[in-house]
Amino acid sequence: MSEDFMLDTDDLKRRMDGAISALKTEFASLRTGRGSASMLEPVMVEAYGQRTPINQVGTVNVPEPRMVTINVWDKSMVNAVEKAIRESGLGINPQLNGTIIMLPIPELNEERRRDLSKVAGQYAEHARVSIRNLRRDGMDQIKKAKTDGLSEDDQKIWETEVQDLTNSYIKQIDDALENKQAEIMQV
């Protein structure tokens, strides 16, 4: 039985990549004083009887670093989009110009930058916890295989591989956090 054991490291990598991807999505939603289309991804608009992402009711553009525009396709949806942005908690005051909604991105003050930096740290910690949970799943599979006859040497080899994989993903998270915090604190 011990010769048959093969830990699915590709599955572990895929799931860890998912945690990194989720972290990058959360980081993209943090406002850094520069406009980006991704900052509007979490905003949902009440459109045609259901909640719809903004990018499905209009074209989102970033014509300059401190301005985001939304060209709403249906004139009747302009007020609903404006309302969704106001209620989103992004701290942006939309300005209407026909079917185009302009979102001037205000400067971030020092206190707000520190708060955003802490939020980024919390997002990174959630990602680290996800990676550690996946590590535990891998280790549990190895322990189960040991009870089914996996040799101690093979067990050590697999455990080292899972730990190395975990360490590389934790480093990716730490690097991404460091970059995001530098971006947030940049004036």
Each residue's pLDDT tens digit, 65-90: 888 999 999 898 899 999 988 887 77
What H or E segment, with its residue span, contains residue 186?
A: none
Q: What pLDDT does residue 66 have? A: 83
- Token pair listed for 118: 């802490």
- Say what the pLDDT of residue 47 is: 85
Residue 2: band (very low, low, confident or very high) from pLDDT cuts 50, 70, 90: very low
- Mean pLDDT for 110-134 is 90
DSSP 91-145: ----EEETTEEEEE-PPPPHHHHHHHHHHHHHHHHHHHHHHHHHHHHHHHHHHHH
Kindly state whether residues 63 and 94 are assigned to the same domain. Answer: yes
DSSP annotation of 73: S
The domain boundary residue, chosen from 60, 81, 104: 104
Q: In whole angstroms, give the CA distance from residue 120 to residue 62.
A: 23
Q: Dihedral angle at the C-alpha atoms of 92, 41, 124, 20, nearest 10 degrees?
A: -160
Task: Judge if 58 and 20 occupy the same domain.
Answer: no
Task: Grade residue 36 by pLDDT with cuts at 50, 70 and 90.
Answer: confident
CB 2 within 8 A of CB 151: yes
Please give the tally of structural domains in the chain. Answer: 2
Question: Is the same domain home to 130 and 145?
Answer: yes
The residues that bridge with 155 in the sheet, in sequence order, are: none
Residues 118 and 96 reside in one and the same domain:
no
Is the domain of 56 the same as that of 119? no
- Give the separation between CA 18 and CA 12, rounded to whole angstroms: 10
The per-residue pLDDT for range 90-115, each reduced to its tens digit, is 778 899 988 899 988 877 788 878 88
131 vs 36, which has greater pLDDT? Answer: 131
4 or 156: whose pLDDT is higher? Answer: 156
Mean predicted lDDT score pLDDT of the chain:
87
| Residue 31, pLDDT score | 66
Q: List the domain range (segments joined by +) for residue 86.
A: 34-104
User: Would you call 30 helix, strand, or coil by DSSP?
Assistant: coil
Q: For residue 3, is it within any domain?
A: no
**pTM of the complete model:** 0.68
- Where do we find the tokens 């991807």? 21
Question: Which whole number is the average pLDDT over 145-156?
Answer: 89
Q: Based on the domain organization, do 116 and 92 belong to the same domain?
A: no
| Helices 9-28/152-185 angle, 10° precision | 10
